[in-house]
Amino acid sequence: MGTQGWPKGPNWEGRMMNDDPPMIAMRDTSVHHHRRKPWNRAFNSSSIKEFEPLLRRRVKLLVEKLGEQKGPVDLTMWINYFTYDFMGDMAFGGWSEMLIEGDRQGLWHLMESGISISLALEHIPWIMPYFRLLIKANLREDLMLDHSLRKMNQRIKDGATTRDLFYYLNGEDGVDSQPLPKNLLLSDGLLAIVAGSDTTASVLSNAFYFLIRNHEALINLMEEIDRFYPAGEDPTDSRHYSQMNYLDAVINETLRLCPPVPSGSQRAAVPGSGGKAVGPYYLPEGTLARIHSMLSNEILEISSLILKHSGLSDGSSLPLVGYVRMDLSQHYRIYTVFLWTV
Ligand code: HEM
């Protein structure tokens, strides 16, 4: 991974519903690097500050909405609405109003079901041309595309009201003389919404789940928040966040126990390159590799022990867990797990 590391694998070919690949799918490292440039400008430390007022507004709305609820509350649903609305603000300067209207158009539901299908299809990318023919008959897929096109055209017509991600992708910051064509702008805008909302929503929901089950951790966190933000202070003002070590630990522990992308990022040598070395190992072209975050976290200690006792490692090297997964149905999966060290 990283600039000199292994490039992306072919899994994204099995996750693309059209011919317009988003930046995340780029296997050629120089093309990936080029597509990544406006993203880097959008997320550097000074530009990211521009997103704070948008986030503040959504946090306040979420708290207000939760305060209005009577009886049992589906916290996950509200968190989903919150992250989706915010990512739309951040990417396109406005996308949805789920915190106010709910999932009226079924957009969150569509994204969630799309992710489940694509997780199976990424293992069999060759099936995509046939699958897409089936999808063309699916009106609900058109719904997402229609919504995206409408929002993007509106955004182009209105111009930038904030320095959203689109401001950088569309070259409105004046750095790129040749911004992306419209079809790729749409793919990358959608990428931000999908990559940013589902992941952060799952971390937030899981963090609340663990805190509710662990009273001591909940009290410790509440004490830390009260110390930095006593009554009357605005907790959406980010100035103390970097000193809030307990909050940081809660987020990191949630990420460790339930990584939102449990199977990690698939990597493979560029076609025609002949393969690549990873540490002392040579992985020939056609080999797919991924570090499975969840399995690595869960069985790190066990795998270290196995490697040590089998003589494959002296215990000083890092065990990596790779796997091939095939979904047979919603409930039945076949896993082939590989264990090696670097
Ligand atoms: C806890 C939250 C998040 C987690 C755990 C997470 C995890 C990941 C992982 C594992 C990848 C690699 C995927 C692959 O290459 O196959 C990735 C890529 C990416 N994520 Fe996130 N992500 C999170 C939040 C976000 C947010 C808020 C955004 C906002 C736009 C975002 C945008 C992206 C993009 C654009 C890529 C592609 C990067 C590239 O190819 O260079 N992610 N993320």
Which residue, by CA, sits nearest to atom 38 of ligand 1?
A: 24
Q: Is 292's C-beta closer than 6 angstroms to any atom of ligand 1?
A: no
pLDDT band of 283, cuts 50, 70, 90: confident
Q: Is 199's C-beta closer than 6 angstroms to any atom of ligand 1?
A: yes
Rounded to a whole number, what is the distance in angstroms from the first to the last CA of the chain? 14
Which atom belonging to ligand 1 lies closest to the Cα atom of 192? 30
Write down all domains in the chain, each with its CATH number in brackets.
Answer: 10-213 (1.10.630.10), 267-341 (no CATH)
Which atom belonging to ligand 1 lies closest to the Cα atom of 265? 16
Average pLDDT taken over every residue of the chain: 85
pLDDT reading at 326 higher than 50: no
The contacts of residue 156 (CB under 8 Å, 6+ apart) are 170
Tell me the CA–centroid distance for residue 220 and ligand 1, in Å.
30
Measuring CA to CA, which residue among 21, 278, 12 is closest to residue 123? Answer: 12
Q: Which range has highest mean pLDDT (24-33, 64-73, 300-309)?
A: 64-73
Q: Which range has highest mean pLDDT (25-29, 57-61, 264-268)?
A: 57-61
pLDDT band of 26, cuts 50, 70, 90: very high
How large a percentage of the chain has pLDDT more than 70? 83
* pLDDT tens readout for residues 84-101: 999 999 999 998 999 999
Q: Is 37's C-beta closer than 6 angstroms to any atom of ligand 1?
A: no
What is the gyration radius of the CA atoms in the chain, in angstroms? 22
Which atom belonging to ligand 1 lies closest to the Cα atom of 23? 40
Q: Is 247's C-beta closer than 6 angstroms to any atom of ligand 1?
A: no
